[in-house]
Structure 1
């Protein structure tokens, strides 16, 4: 039986994203102050809305830096995807329900795309937004589950694809005996 394999989010990448978010909050603050000084209501509105939006994003990003978020968890039964807003989160995607797994690219970003044999039982448990977005992805040629590893630590799309195919392959050749957990540091 294979051990659990976890891909964590990179704290360094999150800190870099946090600095960009902080920069956007500062820019919005300057826009707000310029609007107040010149009595420009449009600039005040843009500064307030931008400041609130980017401030909320900054809080969310900083929280993730300290929590050590999991992006993907592979188990002998299936996998859990936490990598995006469309992720299935705590819903197990069983290996037996997967038709194929491959790398797919769109707009310069690569995903590990899983195609389900019977998508309805899994997709019926998701929100309406997730269902519509997944339907759009399928219409563009992607699988129902798309794992985004852009912020992953010590794991590339090819690494994850290889590991997932090992779990998917029931033959002894699909077994592996290396350390299967990526550090959260």
Structure 2
């Protein structure tokens, strides 16, 4: 009986330590600060879409539950014919200040490029979507390639104004890489 209790304590301690180890974040090796290049292939047509994806960021100040673990990233997509830019979120963004048009939420909010004065930018969100699409793709992609930082302000339900700061270093090279996939 004593052996089985001791064994049970050892097993319990082992699983407790394993749980704690799995919860501790390990230091970054630098790869999380890099833009990623990924592709998808349409199984029906075989057509490829390439994406340049920024590192994930959290809001500058923690948000309240259930949004406290929300992460965001910038994505640029290219299918050889069209190019688009969006901001993705790990949870559906619950934005308070919007209008409705053609089945989309229209969100006009402030953004700041590097240390320039903030300006208003319009985004579209399909209802229930995790993505905010920039209204002006070409201008926004051009700015992404020219700047080192983007600060986004959102009026998030239950949290007031929240800010996401995206690192843009490496964006230009990542965008050029996905564009090169379609050059002949």
TM over 0.5: same fold? no
TM-score (norm. length: structure 1): 0.28
User: Would you tell me which structure has more helix in proportion to its own residues?
Assistant: 1
User: Would you tell me which structure has more strand in proportion to its own residues?
Assistant: 2
Of structures 1 and 2, the larger Rg is shown by 2
TM-score (norm. length: structure 2): 0.28
